[in-house]
Structure 1
Amino acid sequence: MAEYGLCGERLSHSYSEIIHKMLGNEKYRLLSMTKEEFYVFFEKREFCAVNVTIPYKTDALKLCDVVSDEAKMIGSVNTVVNKNGKLFGYNTDIFGFIYMLRLAGVEVCGKKVLILGTGGTSLTANAACKKLEAKEIVTVSRSGKVNYENVYTDHPDAQVIINTTPVGMYPSNGTSPIDISKFPDLSGVADVIYNPGKTRFLLDAQKRGIPTAGGLSMLVAQAVEADRIFFDKENVDVLDITKRVLGVIESGVRNIILVGMPGCGKTTVGKILARQLSRELIDADEYLTKKEGRTPEDIIKNDGEDAFRALETETLRDITKLSGKVISCGGGAVLREENRELIGQNGICIYINRPIEKLATAGRPLSAGGTDRLKALFEMRDPLYRECADFCVDLEENGKNCAQKIIERFGYEK
């Protein structure tokens, strides 16, 4: 019997089991099931408490004996507790949604809000925006009155856009449901997707200096509230627990991505970080070499730099979708804007800066040409490294000290 868990259709991307185990529930499991299996599971009632996710939240509402007022208002249930054979349904998503907006400073009070999507989470977003006193709420769907074509002409004055669709979710990273450049009055955007940490939708807004809210904080907050309901906990500081769990989850699932000049020590530092943090190290150049059967040096010499850069982008597209890795990028990985977006979507980017005279140049054709060539490369790339980086660390002595600075800066647990 599955005592606790998450019921849904496709759960390979879910962090819920990790979060609930951090909250002390070692019996929590991911329960992937078809709709038919979901109905049988609920009819048998052989569980203590479960969460429910896409696409069964509205079905859960119908199957519960008692439903909270909030869940009724939203029209979906994401938390179910079995009390002596009687199923009680709740919705903690609205708590998580409001937490997400407030944490990121995305204000909806008195503003015109576009909600993308019509599923269960769209209903949650709608209810939350009403609770937060939005001035106007417009739902956008593929076949509704307001769709992804006429929204640009009919609602260009939108001030907040909330994505509740799966567009941009792992493994389909890099796609966005809407072109935010056509909304000049935007003051905030939110995306309920939490994998990747920053979707293309959020990255587009971030580049324009617009406040953004990502779905991981919503996921953690609703899970903490659900855990409180599961075990009928009293006098619990849900906000404090959420903050602490969110910090650990963010550092654990986000990649550590190392950028810097060729020969600066990225691979050396990466190996130390991977060993100390028990993470897998992925060297982008080695990944590309294994996939193509040729080294970057061979590709550049025989096919040219442009051919290599195209393959480098394909490589980054593959490896930045992953979670919880240490990734060492090639020295020129930041040259393409698309690559910089890929680096930013699911990781903490560290720029390793090393004095030019100490850079290793053997086997690096683009670094050949002496100090003058290296200086020219550095002057061109340094601003791009800094644009990507969440943290810049100098490597003057050895890789061990550099790795330790990174661990201390972001509070990683060994």
Structure 2
Amino acid sequence: MKDRNILVLGAGGVANAISISVATEGAKKIFICNRTVSKAERLADKIGRFFPNVLVEFRSLALEGVPKDEIDMVINCTSIGMYPDTDKSPIDFTGFPKKLVVYDTIYKPQKTKFMKLAEKKGYHIIGGLSMLINQALYSQKIWSEKESFNVFKNFEKIRRILKKYVE
């Protein structure tokens, strides 16, 4: 994330956690875009206060004023495209650069319309199942109180099992 321009779609709890994470990792600029602009503004103000070295801006989900051609990563933290409304995407990727990482926090369906549109453009896509698994593994680590608990030891095995149940 260091020195990257990140576009975060959404301004709820997941967007809050992800915005803090990318700011902590040294993002250069974060654009927070949401259907309710006032929520995007509140989150942008919060991130800006805690991370003064990160440039943070807010916009509507229409992305007006976002320099799309300068974005390195788009992270969907909205519920748009989640089961059962799987025929929707928060954006269409018009105007973005040729090289882009696209992450969708939704895990059902495993490949959302958002991800399919990104894949058609040749972008690197990552689905939300990995976030679900990591949350579960870190929770297990907290509750097991074992210092030696390795959250990555069985990640791939768990991912294969869960894939069967989230489609």
Structures share a fold, TM > 0.5? yes
Q: How many residues are matched?
A: 146
Quick check: 1:122 aligned with 2:15?
yes
Deviations 1:40-65 (A, max 9, x none): xxxxxxxxxxxxxxxxxxxxxxxxxx
The residue aligned with 1:112 is 5
Structure 2 counterpart of 1:240? 153
Bigger mean CA offset, 212-221 vs 233-242: 233-242
Structure 1 stretches of at least 4 aligned residues deviating more than 3 Å after TM superposition: none
> Percent of aligned pairs with the same residue?
31
Alignment of 1:112-191 (within 5 A): 112-144=5-37, 145-149=58-62, 151-156=63-68, 157-184=70-97, 186-191=99-104
* Distance across 2 between alignment mates of 1:212 and 1:168: 15
Aligned residue type for 1:184: P
* Change over 3 Å in CA distance of 1:225–1:249 after alignment to 2: same
**What is the aligned partner in structure 2 of residue 38 from structure 1?**
none
1:141 to partner: Cα distance: 1.1
Q: Deviations over 1:73-124 (max 9, x none)?
A: xxxxxxxxxxxxxxxxxxxxxxxxxxxxxxxxxxx33211010111010011
In 2, Cα distance between the equivalents of 1:142 and 1:196? 22
Do residues 228 (structure 1) and 121 (structure 2) align? Answer: no
Letter in 2 for 1:232: E
Letter in 2 for 1:116: L
Task: Tell me the CA shift for residue 143 of structure 1.
Answer: 3.3
Q: TM-score, normalised by structure 2?
A: 0.80
- Rg bigger for which structure? 1
Alignment root-mean-square deviation, CA: 1.6
Could you say which residue in structure 2 is the equivalent of 1:204? 117
Residue by residue over 1:235-256, the C-alpha shift from the partner in whole angstroms, topping out at 9 and shown as x without a partner, is 1221112222112222x236xx
Residue 253 (structure 1) aligns with: 165
**Following TM superposition, by how much is the alpha carbon of 1:172 offset from its aligned partner in structure 2, in angstroms?**
0.5
The answer to whether the 8 Å contact 1:158/1:186 transfers is no
SS at structure 1 position matched to 2:111? coil
**Residue 114 of structure 1 aligns to a residue in which SS?**
strand
SS at match of 2:8: strand
- 5 Å-filtered alignment, 1:326-365, equals none
Higher helix share: 1
Report the residue type matching 2:121 in the other structure: R
d(CA) in 1 for partners of 2:99, 2:92: 12
SS in 2 for 1:217: helix
- Post-superposition shift, 1:148? 2.4
Aligned to 1:382: none
Give 1:176 shift: 0.2
Q: What residue ranges of structure 2 are gaps of 5+ in the alignment? A: 38-57
- For the residue of structure 1 that corresponds to 2:18, the secondary structure is helix
| Residues 117-164 of structure 1: per-residue CA shift (max 9 Å, x gap) | 110100111011112221111100123251123x24432222211010
Point out which structure has higher relative CO (alpha carbons under 8 A, 6+ apart): 2
Distance 1:109 1:243 in 2: 27
The one-letter code of the counterpart of 1:201 is F
In structure 2, how many angstroms separate the alpha carbons of the residues matched to 1:212 and 1:171?
21
